[in-house]
Amino acid sequence: MIKKITLILVLFFSVHSYSQEIKNYAWDEKPIFNEIPEEYKNQPAVVLFDKRWIHTRVGYYAFATFAMNHTAIKINKAEEINKYNKIKAQDNGYIRDVRDFHARVIKPNGDIKILPEDKIIETEIDKVKSIVFEGVEAGDILEYYFIVKESPSSYGVEIFQKDIPVLLAEFITTKDGVTFNTFASSEFEMSNFNGKTIAKASNIPPYKEEANARNVKNLIKLIYMVSTPPVDTYRWNYFLPTYYKKPFFQYFKKNQARDFIEKLNINSLSTEEKLITIDNYIKENFDFVWRGETAKKITNLNDGKQKLKSSDLFELYGFVLKESKIQYEVVVGMSRFLGEVEGERFVLPLSHEFMYYIPETRKFLSPYEKYLSYGYPMYEIQGSKGVSYNPAQKGNIISRITFPIAPAEYTVNESQSTVSLSEDLTTATIEKTYSSSGYDGQMYRNWIKYLKENKDEKELVEAIKTKTFGDKFNLKITTYSFENQEFKYNYINTPYVVKVKAEAEESLIENAGNLVLVNLGKIIGSHINLYQETDRKWDVDLGCAKTFRHKIIFDIPNGYEVESFKDLIIDKKMEGGASKNCSFKSIAKIEGNQLIVEVFEIYNSINYPKELYQDYRMVVNAASDFTKASVVLRPKK
CATH number at residue 390: 3.10.620
pLDDT of residue 234: 92
pLDDT of residue 118: 81
Residue 203 sits in the same domain as residue 299: no
CATH number of the domain to which 520 belongs: 2.60.120.1130
Whether 407 maps to a domain, the answer reads: no
Tell me: pLDDT of 4 over 70: no
Tell me: pLDDT of 95 over 90: no
pLDDT of residue 128: 77
pLDDT of residue 91: 59
Whether 57 maps to a domain, the answer reads: yes
What's the mean pLDDT when you consider all of the chain?
91
Whether 232 maps to a domain, the answer reads: no
Pairing between β-strand 121-122 and β-strand 129-132 as defined by DSSP bridges: antiparallel
Helices 438-454 and 457-469 pack at an angle, to 10 degrees, of 160
CB count, 10 Å around CB of 303? 10
Tell me: pLDDT of 17 over 90: no
Higher pLDDT among residues 22 and 61, named by residue: 22
Dump pLDDT digits (tens) for 171-226: 999 988 899 999 999 999 999 998 899 999 999 999 999 999 999 999 999 999 99
pLDDT of residue 299: 87
Residue 440 sits in the same domain as residue 391: no
Do residues 58 and 133 lie in contact, with contact meaning Cβ atoms separated by under 8 Å?
no
Tell me: pLDDT of 9 over 50: no
pLDDT band at 18 (very low <50, low <70, confident <90, very high): low
Dump pLDDT digits (tens) for 357-405: 999 999 999 999 999 999 999 999 999 999 999 999 988 899 999 999 9
Percent helix, strand, coil in the chain, to 5, is 25, 35, 40
The domain in which residue 418 lies consists of 412-635
pLDDT of residue 8: 38
Dump pLDDT digits (tens) for 313-326: 999 999 999 999 99
Residue 266 sits in the same domain as residue 218: no
Please list, in sequence order, all residues whose beta carbon lies within 8 angstroms of the beta carbon of residue 55, skipping any fewer than 6 positions away: 18, 19, 22, 65, 66, 67, 173, 174, 175, 176
Whether 492 maps to a domain, the answer reads: yes
Residue 467 sits in the same domain as residue 601: yes
pLDDT of residue 10: 39
Do residues 387 and 348 lie in contact, with contact meaning Cβ atoms separated by under 8 Å?
no
What global pTM score does this model have? 0.90
Residue 284 sits in the same domain as residue 329: yes
Helices 310-323 and 271-285 pack at an angle, to 10 degrees, of 160
Of 402, 429, 456, the domain-final residue: 402
Residue 270 sits in the same domain as residue 217: no
Residue 371 sits in the same domain as residue 445: no
CATH number of the domain to which 53 belongs: 2.60.40.3140
Of 200, 227, 254, the domain-final residue: 227
Do residues 548 and 413 lie in contact, with contact meaning Cβ atoms separated by under 8 Å?
yes
Residue 486 sits in the same domain as residue 378: no
Of 402, 435, 468, the domain-final residue: 402
> How confident is the model over 495-506, as a mean pLDDT?
92
Residue 188 sits in the same domain as residue 247: no
Whether 299 maps to a domain, the answer reads: yes
Kindly report the length of the chain: 637
Domain count, the chain: 3
Please list, in sequence order, all residues whose beta carbon lies within 8 angstroms of the beta carbon of residue 362, skipping any fewer than 6 positions away: 404
Residue 344 sits in the same domain as residue 455: no
Listed range (18-32, 74-88, 428-442, 489-503) with the worst mean pLDDT: 18-32
Do residues 89 and 129 lie in contact, with contact meaning Cβ atoms separated by under 8 Å?
yes
Residue 424 sits in the same domain as residue 497: yes
Tell me: pLDDT of 24 over 90: no
> How confident is the model over 49-62, as a mean pLDDT?
88
pLDDT band at 492 (very low <50, low <70, confident <90, very high): very high
Tell me: pLDDT of 99 over 90: no
pLDDT of residue 531: 95
Please list, in sequence order, all residues whose beta carbon lies within 8 angstroms of the beta carbon of residue 391, skipping any fewer than 6 positions away: 241, 244, 245, 246, 318, 322, 328, 330
pLDDT band at 563 (very low <50, low <70, confident <90, very high): very high
Residue 466 sits in the same domain as residue 525: yes
